[in-house]
Amino acid sequence: MESSVLTAVVAAAALVCRAAVLELREPGTGRRAWAFATDRRALGAGLGAALALGATGWLTVGADAVVWAGLAGILVASLTAELRPPGERAPARRDPEDGT
């Protein structure tokens, strides 16, 4: 395994460990930190970023760039997610056809 790939894996492990420590200190914070995994908009933004960076990196650097692109996609998704207090659900979407 290349040192570049190993560095990306260590960075991802550090993010997971950080979420675990936050959860131990204050229950619920770890779940909020990973709540982007259920946010469609955030996942779409992260996937788009990962695909764009992965394709560009693959062509310029090689296959090792795909790991970094995946990590960048996760970070984009987590930054794009809507922040909500614990237990609060996303607002219901209104249907313009029925006027509600």
Q: Domains of the chain: which residue ranges?
A: 3-80
Using the predicted structure, report yes or no on whether residue 50 has a pLDDT greater than 90. Answer: yes
C-alpha to C-alpha distance for 86 and 81, rounded to whole angstroms:
14
Locate all alpha helices (DSSP H) within the chain, ordered by sequence: 3-25, 29-33, 40-60, 64-80
Mean pLDDT of the chain: 81
Using the predicted structure, report yes or no on whether residue 23 has a pLDDT greater than 80. Answer: yes
- Quick one: pLDDT band at residue 52, thresholds 50, 70, 90? very high
